[in-house]
Amino acid sequence: MSIKDKNIIESPLDSTLQEDLENTALNDKVPFDKLKDSIILVTGATGLVGMQMVKSLAAMNRLKDANISIMALVRNPEKAKSIYGDLADRGDITFVQADLNDKDGIMSSVKSSLDSIRESENKGDAPLYIIHGAAVTASKMMVEMPVETIDTAINGTKNMLEVAREFGTASFVYISSMEVYGSFTEATYVTEDKMGYIDPLVVRSNYQLTKRMCENMCIAYAKEFDVPAKIARLSQTFGAGILPGENRVFAQFARSVMNGQDIVLHTKGLSEGNYCYTADTIRGLLTILVKGENSNAYNISNEDTHTTIAGMAKFASETLAGGKIKVVFDIPEDNKFGYAADTKMKLSNTKLKALGWEPCYGLEDAYRRMMASMKQLNI
């Protein structure tokens, strides 16, 4: 692999994110020895987690001479160029253009890129790792375009499992969500073997139900075709480097604090939130990729950041904004905003910590780092 210019850093316009990427690359608990000289395919590479995964791997190449060939699967190459800038030309990232719903297109594009890397970089025996993170994440789209949301989840995951089956993989991680657990009527400490209720007659449930189906599809491919699949159940993930247009609750609260505007809640905010800083999540995914057991699921969550939505709004208004803004409730009669049903759960991270992972950033640090990044990027 040739890095044309090692002076091209991963996020030149965002010093906070750059610090995160370099800290991840140099973290002594990241299973670097298994990743060195490998090929890693990341889907959803223009999303928050996928982008930071790609850039973290690139930082490993620059700082630790990891010689990782990074394959970033994207649907929109123009969006990818806007996110990666000059990094796209550094030499260690190959952008694979494909639509997750198009099996033939994915297989052809991946094969072409994989063959080129193995030949040009002399990596005929290099292990291939796959991190599948592409998915619809906007609640509004889940409500307004539920069929497309389902198709992207089911078809995309099946097609990526077929890639793993066809080309072989040392490890496959499917990025799932805490929403897979559904709702609990009583406060519940949720380990990976517990499941709550999901109402299939609610259109917004398509996201939760397809996550369950995709997880089971991973288990099916592991059982029938020996695909070494693992599942990462992410809590609400945020931090430095959030993308323009991000409108999930953490970004809304941050903008309210930065702009000195009251926080407006469209629910009572009783749902309990489980959060994790993005850099901690990236390290968790790499830990699962290398150390996780096949056909197992792992929560990636920082238990110390657990709070209700209303509690986090209060924290933002009082701690982050110094009491200069307040929390206002404006609750519509119907769920026109597409919010998930209230749930009362605290995600356990015991299983992942047993693999050697530890979260580094609490809720205040996570917010302040994210807001510093947002200010620098003017988003």
Contact of 269 with 304, CB cutoff 8 Å: no
Taking the C-alpha atoms of residue 347 and residue 358, their distance in angstroms, rounded to an integer, is 14
Domains, the chain = 15-240+276-302+344-361 (3.40.50.720)
CA-wise closest residue to 284 among 354, 238, 232, 242: 232
Quick one: angle between helices 278-291 and 15-26, nearest 10?
30
Burial 198-219 (b: 16+ CB within 10 A, else e): beeeeebbbbbbbbbbbbebbb
What is the residue type of 181? Answer: Y
pLDDT in tens, the chain (379 residues): 556 566 789 999 999 999 999 999 999 999 999 999 999 999 999 999 999 999 999 999 999 999 999 999 999 999 999 999 999 999 999 999 999 999 999 999 999 999 999 999 999 999 999 999 998 888 888 999 999 999 999 999 999 999 999 999 999 999 999 999 998 888 899 999 999 999 999 999 999 999 999 999 999 999 999 999 999 999 999 999 998 888 888 999 999 999 999 999 988 888 888 899 999 999 999 999 999 999 999 999 999 999 999 999 999 999 999 999 999 998 776 655 555 567 789 999 999 999 999 999 999 999 999 999 999 999 8
